[in-house]
């Protein structure tokens, strides 16, 4: 029965056989027109033999490896022969599945290097291939029997050159597919091994039978390290090494001890000097000092370990342990620093009980110590090859204590949150993230894992327990570290912007948090068991991009497009600003025309910027024509109103029936045009409100433009006088008033019209042409004031409506009153 790997090889071989016949022909040399006199090359012979074998029924299958070997004879594909050997070796190891993880990782790294070479080869000769394609397209399609021989031969030569240039790219593409499959198989095999190890059940640590042996093995391991170091001290070679390196050892040890003993004091002194630069109250220099308090002793530890290694006292076991000491010390210092920073910044939420309490700092230090002890035990188990039972018995107590400490730490955070929420006089900002659902969910999940890990270990799943509890502890540490860094960066922002603690509630703080979370994702992935190779593979896939039509979209292509388009957009805005403020005001173009030119320049500039960016990025969108056509149909039906408004906006800018600054009336709304965009036009009414009118209404509806072309317009002022007034006298007075106003034009001269005989007055109208119709209300008001004053001086009455009421049979109204009075008197007499 074939394995999946064998089936994969068969499919790959069939694919290669189908594609390599044409490749062998291309490598062989000239085009078919010139082949008649050319000697056959080895690839061509191989291709011909393979074709005959395929065509003949019952013939032997084609040897793909032989074809590949023949292709490797091409100088351009010299690296291909080494790749073939590496690929066969990789397939053999994967099929056997017996190599160690370290061997597979080394093989994978070798395959990754080949993949990088294939990726470069896939884009080889891009410029020349594009040039040849352009030349072949310029010759046009082939016309059988109706084409000059010269054109046919020229097309053949160009096609031959094109085929030869494509050979390395096609071979690299095939090899790239093969190496991708091999890398994926190695990753899957390593992950399967890790999963089996994680879920493997071993002996239970609760079995007392294993306890004495475990204690004995641990004691023997430490005694072995001590005996090895003592034995090396008695060695003459080691003693000579100590004497020869004595000055360096004394210097390193002295510096290390000074940094360990005086590092924190020096950090405080450096902080005092830094505070002289300014920034008190922002916590910036205090944060720097806290880092120095950790870094200086850590450097002292590294120097001390280096001195011990140089002394050659530690043997093999001791050297292996010393290699990890700097990391262990760093974890202890980091936990101590983190507890202090949580207290200084007063960070209290679902994950932090109270940074100012000593219990929180002790819990963090305890968790770090337990993590270091686990790493020490794991290193000793690897050095001394501890029995599985002994390792389980020694590892489970650390798991149990870690789970209990972590559970108690988060329980205190929950109780602290409840007390702070219930307190009526709780300090403002005491629980800044009390409503953060993500932190609440994370706290509940971590508490559950803290209780689950010891149970798994007790049942014998110690590997699963360790894979749960220690990544959980590190994850909590990373999250708390991110909180501290976010608070520090926000305090710097508050110091620079002089907003102080108010900066913690700004958008900047939220953005910093999001950025820090994204940056921590790779670290969290490594903590939870991801390999560095997994992350590099994901990054490689990201850089490789994806295919859209005939174009591969990668971050480099996208960045090129974004940078060029942004540059074009900025240049367009600069040109628009120059036109609006410098060039166009010096011309005689009206403001509406200037606005149309500026807006049109913006549309054209952005369109050209997009075209140039697409061209420079190498995007080929021709294959998306069908998709674009389908989208255009969908846009036509689903977004027809928006498209109609867009087209109407373009028409308004080109035809300019209305312009910016015009006084128009549309749909019962009257006002000034303040802005014309691609979708709508903004009109400012006389009561200072904005009305947004769709552009399609301005194109398809009736629009009154009072200032189209010029600002000249007419004003009509109606007035009525009492009956009996001399109409000619009124005419003369009104004519004088109209001619006296400075806004009234004399050509054509204003006129006074006797409209007719109204119900209560003789009706007249002043009709005058104004220099600027925008002043029509002011002119009408001025004329009304002047009319009232002159009519008063001339004794002319401006009547108002009066009505006389005639009552017929008035005596009938008094009859009921008389009868009622008589009846009332009779009652009084009675």
Highest mean pLDDT, choosing among 117-126, 404-413, 801-810: 404-413
Tally of domains in the chain: 4
pLDDT at 758 over 60: yes
| Residue 167: Cβ-neighbour burial (10 angstroms; 0-12, 13-18, 19+) | buried
- Size of the chain, expressed as the number of residues it contains: 830
Task: Please enumerate in sequence order all residues whose Cβ is within 8 A of that of 225, keeping only pairs 6 or more positions apart, or say none.
Answer: 315, 317, 318, 321
Same domain, 13 and 153: yes
For the segment 728-756, the average pLDDT, to the nearest whole number, is 92
The pLDDT score that the predictor gives to residue 454 is 94
Residues 727 and 769 in one domain: yes
pLDDT at 9 over 50: no
Q: Do 84 and 123 sit in the same domain of this protein?
A: yes
HSE-up of 20 (CA within 13 Å, CB side)?
27
* Cβ atoms 260, 297 nearer than 8 A: yes
Taking a C-beta distance cutoff of 8 angstroms, is the pair 349, 433 a contact?
yes
Residue 680 confidence (pLDDT) above 70:
yes
**Structural domain includes residue 125:** yes
* Phi, psi (deg, nearest 5) at residue 396: -65, -40
Q: For residue 103, is pLDDT > 70?
A: yes
- Same structural domain for residues 703 and 747? no
208 in a structural domain:
no
Q: Is the dihedral of CA 694, 699, 705, 710 positive or negative?
A: positive
**Lowest mean pLDDT segment, chosen from 33-37, 45-49, 625-629:** 33-37
- DSSP per-residue codes, 256-274: HHHHHHHHHHHHHHHHHHH
Q: Which of 19-28, 250-259, 313-322 has the lowest mean pLDDT?
A: 19-28
127 in the same domain as 34: yes
Between the two ends of the chain, the Cα-to-Cα distance in Å is 137
Pair 57, 186 in one domain: yes
CA distance 539 to 639: 39
Alpha carbon 276 to chain centroid, angstroms: 39
To which H or E segment does residue 389 belong? helix 388-422
Residues 597 and 718 in one domain: no
- The answer to the question of residue 391 being in a domain is no
Burial of 382 (0-12, 13-18, 19+ CB in 10 A): exposed
For the chain, what percent of residues have pLDDT higher than 90?
24
On the question of pLDDT at 182 being above 80, the answer is: yes
State residue 154's pLDDT score: 86
Most confident of 333-347, 664-678, 720-734: 720-734
**Percentage of the chain exceeding pLDDT 70:** 78
Tell me, rounded to whole angstroms, the distance of Cα 25 from its chain centroid.
48
604 and 683 part of one domain: no
**SS3 state at 819:** helix
Are residues 691 and 773 both part of a single domain? no
- 242 occurs within a structural domain: no
Task: Tell me, yes or no, whether 398 lies in a domain.
Answer: no
The backbone torsions φ and ψ at residue 744, rounded to the nearest 5 degrees and listed phi first, read -90, 130
Three-state secondary structure call for residue 283: coil
Residue 664 has φ and ψ, to the nearest 5°, of -130, 165
C-alpha to C-alpha distance for 222 and 144, rounded to whole angstroms: 89
Tens-place pLDDT, residues 139-160: 877 776 677 888 888 888 888 8
* Radius of gyration (C-alpha) of the chain in whole angstroms: 46
Question: How many Cβ atoms sit within 10 Å of the Cβ of residue 48?
Answer: 15
Sign of the dihedral defined by the CA atoms of residues 789, 791, 794, 799, in that order: negative
pLDDT at 423: 46
**Spatial separation of the C-alpha atoms in residues 670 and 423, rounded to whole Å:** 59
Residue 601's CATH number = 1.10.287
Given 588, 604, 638, the domain boundary residue is 638
Say if residue 670 is in the same domain as residue 769: no
The dihedral through the CA atoms of 559, 562, 565, 569 has a sign that is negative
C-alpha to C-alpha distance for 730 and 718, rounded to whole angstroms? 12
Count of other CB atoms within 10 angstroms of residue 265: 11
Highest mean pLDDT pick, 348-362, 436-450, 648-662, 768-782: 768-782
Q: With CA atoms as reference, report the closest residue to 785 among 714, 687, 719.
A: 719
- Show the domain range for 598: 549-638
Is the distance from CB of 764 to CB of 751 less than 8 angstroms?
no
Least confident piece of the model among 53-57, 64-68, 405-409: 53-57
- Cis check for the bond before 748: say yes or no (omega within 30 of 0): yes
pLDDT at 402 over 80: yes
CA distances from 86 to 64, 89, 110, 111 (A): 16, 5, 9, 8
Q: Do 775 and 757 have their domain in common? A: yes
Sign of CA dihedral 367, 372, 374, 377: negative
Q: Which of 149, 174, 198 is the last residue of a domain?
A: 198
Distance CA 51, CA 336 (A): 74
Which pLDDT band, with edges at 50, 70 and 90, does 76 fall under? Answer: low
> What are the CA-CA distances from residue 291 to residues 2, 124, 347, 473 (Å)?
60, 49, 18, 22
| CA atoms of 90 and 85, how far apart (whole Å) | 9
d(CA 595, CA 582): 13
pLDDT for 623: 54
In 10 A of CB 16, how many CB atoms?
Answer: 20
The single residue listed with the structure tokens 């994950």 is 351
Which residue, among 468, 444, 432, has the nearest Cα to 355 in the 3D structure?
A: 432
Q: Determine, yes or no, domain membership for 601.
A: yes
Q: What is the mean pLDDT of residues 539-556?
A: 72
Can you give the pLDDT at residue 678? Answer: 75
**Measured CA distances, 300 to 256, 263, 326, 365 (Å):** 4, 8, 10, 20
> What tens digit of pLDDT does each residue of 469-498 get?
999 999 999 998 998 888 888 888 887 787
Beta bridge partners of 663: 672
pTM flag (> 0.85):
no
* Candidate ranges 17-21, 530-534, 594-598, 730-734; pick with highest mean pLDDT: 730-734
User: Tens of pLDDT along 350-385?
Assistant: 677 654 457 778 888 999 999 999 999 999 988 888
Shared domain for 587 and 733, answered yes or no, is no
pLDDT at 11: 34
Residue 721 lies in a domain: yes
Domain closes at, from 181, 198, 215 = 198
Distance CA 176, CA 114 (A): 8
- The span from the CA of 323 to the CA of 306, in Å, is 9
Indicate whether 344 belongs to any domain.
no
Q: What is the largest CA-CA distance in the chain?
A: 158
Spatial distance between the Cα atoms of 351 and 84, rounded to a whole number of angstroms? 55
Which strand (E) or helix (H) includes residue 478?
helix 462-497
3-state secondary structure 640-669: HHHHHHHHHHHHHHHHCCCCCCCEEEECCE
User: Domain holding 743: CATH number?
Assistant: 3.30.70.100
The predicted-structure confidence for 430-444, as pLDDT tens digits, reads as follows 334 444 677 788 888
Dihedral of CA atoms 578, 582, 586, 592 in degrees, nearest 10, equals: 50
> Which ranges constitute the DSSP H helices of 37-125?
42-55, 64-71, 79-96, 101-122
Q: State how far the alpha carbon of 15 is from the alpha carbons of 21, 61, 167, 193, 549, in Å.
A: 11, 13, 16, 31, 22
Q: How far apart are CA 16 and CA 208, in angstroms?
A: 62
In three-state secondary structure terms, 694 is strand
pLDDT of residue 53: 38
Distance CA 132, CA 136 (A): 6
pLDDT at 429: 39
């Amino acid at each position: 029965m074939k394995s999946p790997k064998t089936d994969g090889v068969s499919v790959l071989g069939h694919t290669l056989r189908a594609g390599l016949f044409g490749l062998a022909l291309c490598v062989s040399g000239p085009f078919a027109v010139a082949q008649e006199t050319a000697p056959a090359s080895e690839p061509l012979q191989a291709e011909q033999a393979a074709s005959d074998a395929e065509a003949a029924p019952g013939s032997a299958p084609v040897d793909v490896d032989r074809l590949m070997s023949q292709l490797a004879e091409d100088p351009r594909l010299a690296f291909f022969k080494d790749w073939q050997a590496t690929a066969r070796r990789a397939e053999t190891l994967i099929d056997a599945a017996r190599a160690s993880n370290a061997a597979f990782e080394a093989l994978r790294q070798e395959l990754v290097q080949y993949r990088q070479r294939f990726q470069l080869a896939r884009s080889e000769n891009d410029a020349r291939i594009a040039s040849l394609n352009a030349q072949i397209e310029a010759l046009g399609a082939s016309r059988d029997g109706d084409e000059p021989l010269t054109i046919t031969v020229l097309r053949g030569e160009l096609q031959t050159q094109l085929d030869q240039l494509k050979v390395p790219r096609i071979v690299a593409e095939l090899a790239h597919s093969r190496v991708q499959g091999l890398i994926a198989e190695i990753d899957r095999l390593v992950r399967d091994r890790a999963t089996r190890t994680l879920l493997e059940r071993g002996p239970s640590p609760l079995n007392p039978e294993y306890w004495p042996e475990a204690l004995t093995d641990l004691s023997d391991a430490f005694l072995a390290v001590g005996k090895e170091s003592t034995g090396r001290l008695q060695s003459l070679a080691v003693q000579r090494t100590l004497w020869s390196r004595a000055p360096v050892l004394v210097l390193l040890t002295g510096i290390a001890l000074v940094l360990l003993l005086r590092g924190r004091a020096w950090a405080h002194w450096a902080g005092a000097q830094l505070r002289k630069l300014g920034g008190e109250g922002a916590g910036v220099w205090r944060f720097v000092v806290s880092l120095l308090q950790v870094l200086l002793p850590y450097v002292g530890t590294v120097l001390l370990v280096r001195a011990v290694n140089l002394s050659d006292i530690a043997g093999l076991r001791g050297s292996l342990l010393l290699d990890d000491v700097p990391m262990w010390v760093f974890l202890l210092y980091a936990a101590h620093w983190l507890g202090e920073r949580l207290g200084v910044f007063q960070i209290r939420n679902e994950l932090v009980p109270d940074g100012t309490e000593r219990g929180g700092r002790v819990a963090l230090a305890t968790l770090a110590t337990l993590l270091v002890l686990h790493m020490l035990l794991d290193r000793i188990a690897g050095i001394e090859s501890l029995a599985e039972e002994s390792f389980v018995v020694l590892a489970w107590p650390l798991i149990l204590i870690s789970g209990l400490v972590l559970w108690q730490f988060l329980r205190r955070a929950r109780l602290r949150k409840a007390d702070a929420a219930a307190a009526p006089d709780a300090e403002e900002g005491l629980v800044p993230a009390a409503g953060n659902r993500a932190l609440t969910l994370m706290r509940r999940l971590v508490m559950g894992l803290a209780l689950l890990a010891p149970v798994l270990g007790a049942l014998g799943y110690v590997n699963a327990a360790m894979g749960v509890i220690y990544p959980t502890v590190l994850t909590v540490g990373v999250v708390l570290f991110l909180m501290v860094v976010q608070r520090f960066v926000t305090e710097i922002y508050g110091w620079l912007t002089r907003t102080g603690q108010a900066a913690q509630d700004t958008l900047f703080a939220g953005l910093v948090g999001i950025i820090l979370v994204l940056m921590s994702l790779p670290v969290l992935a490594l903590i939870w068991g991801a390999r560095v190779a997994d992350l590099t593979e994901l990054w490689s896939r990201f850089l490789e991009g994806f295919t859209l039509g005939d174009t591969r979209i990668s971050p480099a292509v996208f960045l090129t497009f974004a940078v060029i388009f942004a540059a074009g957009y900025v240049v367009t805005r600069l040109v628009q600003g120059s036109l609006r403020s410098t060039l166009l005001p010096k011309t005689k173009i009206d403001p509406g025309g200037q606005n149309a030119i500026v807006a049109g320049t913006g549309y054209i500039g952005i369109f050209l910027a997009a075209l140039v960016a697409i061209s420079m990025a190498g995007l080929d969108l021709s294959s998306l024509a069908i998709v674009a056509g389908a989208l255009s149909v969908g846009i036509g039906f689903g977004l027809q109103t928006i498209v109609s408004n867009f087209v109407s906006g373009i028409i308004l800018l080109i035809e300019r029936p209305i312009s910016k600054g015009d006084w128009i009336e549309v749909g019962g709304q009257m006002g000034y045009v303040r802005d014309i965009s691609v979708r709508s036009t903004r009109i400012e009414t006389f009561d200072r409100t904005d009305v947004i009118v769709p552009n399609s209404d301005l194109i398809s509806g009736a629009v009154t433009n009072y200032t189209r072309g010029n600002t000249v317009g007419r004003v009509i002022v109606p007035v009525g006088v009492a009956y009996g007034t001399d109409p000619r006298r009124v005419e003369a007075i009104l004519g004088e008033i109209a001619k006296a106003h400075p806004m009234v034009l004399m050509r054509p001269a204003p006129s006074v019209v006797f409209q007719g005989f109204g119900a209560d007055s003789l009706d007249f109208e002043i009709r005058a042409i104004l220099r600027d119709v925008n002043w029509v209300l002011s002119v009408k008001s001025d004329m009304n004031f002047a009319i009232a004053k002159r009519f008063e001086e001339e004794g002319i009455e401006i009547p108002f409506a009066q009505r006389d009421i005639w009552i017929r049979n008035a005596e009938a109204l008094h009859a009921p009153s008389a009868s009622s009075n008589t009846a009332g008197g009779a009652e009084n007499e009675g």
